[in-house]
Chain A
Amino acid sequence: MDKILRINMGGQGGPEIKTEPMGDYSGLAGRAMTSGIVSKEVPPLCHPLGEDNKLVIAPGMLSGSLAAMSGRISVGCKSPLTGGIKESNSGGQPSQVLARIGYAAIVIEGKPADDTLYKVFINKDNVEITPDNSLKMLGNYDLVDKMKAAHGDKIACISIGPAGEMKMSAASIAFTDMELRPTRHAGRGGTGAVMGSKGVKVIVLDGEGTQARSPKDPDKFKEANKAFTAGLKKHPVTGEGLPAYGTNVLTNILNEAGAYPTNNFSSGRFDGAGKISGETEAETETARGGNPTHGCHKGCVIQCSGIYNDKDGNYLTKQPEYETIWAHGGNCGIDDLDAIAMMDRLDDDYGLDTIEMGATIAVAMEAGLAKFGDAEAAIGFVKEVGKGTPLGRVLGNGAAVTGQVFGVERVPVVKKQAMPAYDPRAVQGIAVTYATTPMGADHTAGYAVTANILGVGGTVDPLKPEGQVELSRNLQIATAAIDSTGMCLFIAFAILDQADTFQALLDLISGFTGAGMTGDDVTELGKSVLKNERNFNAAAGFTAADDRLPEYFKKEALPPHNVTLQVTDEELDSVFNW
């Protein structure tokens, strides 16, 4: 992983391919790499779909090695949804394969002369880019089947569906899983639209003849990897809860807490939650011959994913995760697991962010386009998006646009990106992160380890009201750092609770890179990523006024606890005073 691949789609005689040394970006990976390149090379005021925007795809620091959990990949660009910087990350196989081939990043830049669609093929010896208009408007599933037929089943694909080609702001980029299905997505922020604007339909990675990346200190690395894996396996969340039920184990909990956004964030409780809970989902999968315990890439030892079969026992989709079940389920008043799984399949095929789509459909329901709970209508809306009908074009551009078109006031977005599955009135700490992360409302932007473990920003006194602000700041720093390692964020629970597992992670990184790594280094890495991102947004015109939740959260009390948002603007503005 010592070079950067640049593909200029706007070259004189067609796309131009160039391989460069790491230069200024030496030592960077994952989110640090994507945000580093975007903040340095993309003019903040450029049009997200124009020639000056760049799409950066970067494996994590440990991707391609034998380190457990290290296969996450980051995608960065200026977001067509938020207008700010975006890092969206995904699981799947491509991170491992791209890293083994040796690229620390693929940068797609410029703008093609016409609407020709291209396929990129990369193996250890070669990079080819060929026009292929036969791929136009193919869904991700058919597209990957076609790639398999042409290149065999040892490949990994990065692709867009029709939504990306239509440059919709809810369009995702798909990454194939271990079974070569396009089920993992860099979902948030419309990265798929940027890939579509560059005219690239698919990047095929062939890792034939490549080796696992070797660590600088093999003994230390091996020992640390063993301790790290054992730590993950012994923790109740990473070793039991997530493998058994996946992230959807949260449905019953959030619902019990009255923090489960229901019917477009109008209540914190959903009567049908039990029917779509993780427990019910796992039971359904097992009964139908699916599998509730499955990894999204080789080397995942937590295995929070699964296989969801239809009533006849045929594969329908991967196990939809908590956010998806919520977005297409409770947030739309829908308690039919099969209908939700069908929407997950359609989203993956068209290449759409499930959170944005679910939130958008709920806004459409609020506007009166269908009734809450009408699963058939909801599926119909997703299909409209896939076909690109006029209504589909509106919905495919997200909740903010849909709310504006249909005159809805209750639109749960920050920086135009839809909020995920936690009502910020009930869990006010998450409100701070939703409001202030440079990414737009995002739950993963504060998902990781905290101050007291990493030694970031001192120890938080939980009794002080500013605890929420400090926690959010520290979590955002730690998340930015973990996103740069390529580690799945779900490792956070084990390293949060078990000091020896956190030490094993630090040893794993230093065993691999040969450089010592301390908690302070992690902090500095996270801070520098956030600084780059915030500077980009400021130059793109973002101000403190963009670090706010919609006003109705302060005015409308959320049942059952009847709470309103109490976090003050001053508190929000102090998050990045470090």
Chain B
Amino acid sequence: MDKSNTDKIDIHLTVEIKPEFLSLFFRLLANGFNIKAEIGSSLKEFFLDRLGLVETYLEDRVQTIFLNGKAVDNIETALITEDSTIALSAAMPGLVGATFRRGGRYAPMREKISYDTEVNDHRHQEGLVFLKLFNMIAKEMGPEILKRGILVKGEDLADLFKNREILSGCVSVTYDNQIQNPDNFDDTFLQEKRVLLKILS
């Protein structure tokens, strides 16, 4: 999904799904989605206050963090700007995987693409960021984030629904307060729409 700086919502879509099918939605989390954030806050504030992560989880599990494609070592000094892209991953294999870990001993190997605090945007106002969750992090944070709702492009969602297996796992699909039968679900109405998607399982 291309990131977009509008928080306009065209469609509210809520899907209730059997738990074993939930992971099929994790692809949306890896592709990225919009979520509200306080512009000017630090990444750490965003993780703790907005995403509701606890510090030990952040320290132990979220080993690899990118802000606008640059590997972040210090989440207290890295600041969020309007439309930032933030990506979270668990510890990665391989020498190169290890170089991307936060503050790791291999960090010098990727210093040319390390995040360097270059903005000082202390506006502290509400805005949107584009968040990507990869691998174990998607698995662990995904259920709660999907339950709270993510803003995605309708095309990305329609693309996901092309896998009809997903629909076979849906208990109900509700949009704009109308409950639909998943068997008759037609995704064409999603095109060119901004969708607030909630997944319940």
A interface list, Cβ under 8 A from B? 236-238, 240-242, 244-245, 247, 249-250, 252-254, 256-259, 269, 274, 277-280, 283, 287, 304, 322, 422, 425-430, 443, 446-448, 450, 452, 460, 462-465, 467-468, 471, 475, 490, 492-493, 496, 560-561, 563, 566
Which residues in chain B, 88-103, are within 8 Å of chain A measured between CB atoms?
A: 89-100
| Alpha-carbon distance A246/B119, docked complex (angstroms) | 37
Which of B93, B111, B112, B138 is within 8 Å of A250, CB to CB?
B93
**A256–B132 touching, CB < 8 Å:** yes
**Chain B residues positioned under 8 Å from A425 (CB to CB):** 112
**Chain B residues positioned under 8 Å from A464 (CB to CB):** 108
**B110–A490 touching, CB < 8 Å:** no
CB distance from A157 to the nearest CB of B (A): 28
CB distance from B197 to the nearest CB of A (A): 17
**Chain A residues positioned under 8 Å from B109 (CB to CB):** 427-430, 467-468, 471
Which of B27, B107, B108, B135 is within 8 Å of A241, CB to CB?
B135
**B57-69 interface bits toward A, Cβ cutoff 8 Å, 1 = contact, 0 = none:** 0000101101001
**B98-126 interface bits toward A, Cβ cutoff 8 Å, 1 = contact, 0 = none:** 11100001111111110000000000000
**B135–A471 touching, CB < 8 Å:** no
Q: List 23 A-B contacts (CB under 8 A).
A: A241-B135, A244-B136, A249-B93, A249-B135, A252-B87, A252-B89, A256-B66, A257-B113, A277-B30, A279-B26, A283-B24, A322-B94, A428-B112, A430-B96, A443-B96, A447-B95, A460-B108, A464-B108, A465-B108, A468-B109, A493-B98, A560-B69, A561-B69
CB distance from B126 to the nearest CB of A (A): 25
Q: Decide yes or no: A279 and B30 within 8 Å by CB, A426-B110, A427-B109, A561-B69 being known contacts.
A: yes
Binding site of A, secondary structure by majority: helix, strand, loop or mixed? Answer: helix
**B112–A566 touching, CB < 8 Å:** yes
Interface residues on B, range: 35 or more
**Chain A residues positioned under 8 Å from B134 (CB to CB):** 249, 252-253, 256, 277, 279
| Alpha-carbon distance A468/B107, docked complex (angstroms) | 9
CB distance from B178 to the nearest CB of A (A): 30
**B183-198 interface bits toward A, Cβ cutoff 8 Å, 1 = contact, 0 = none:** 0000000000000000
**B106–A429 touching, CB < 8 Å:** yes
For the A-B complex with A252-B30, A256-B132, A490-B93 known, give 11 more contacts whose Cβ atoms are closer than 8 Å: A240-B136, A245-B135, A250-B92, A257-B69, A257-B70, A257-B113, A283-B23, A283-B27, A427-B96, A462-B107, A566-B112
Residue of B nearest to A254 (CB): B96
Residue of A nearest to B112 (CB): A563
**Chain A residues positioned under 8 Å from B26 (CB to CB):** 279
**Chain B residues positioned under 8 Å from A460 (CB to CB):** 105, 108
CB distance from A133 to the nearest CB of B (A): 43
Question: B42 contacts the other chain (Cβ, under 8 Å)?
Answer: no
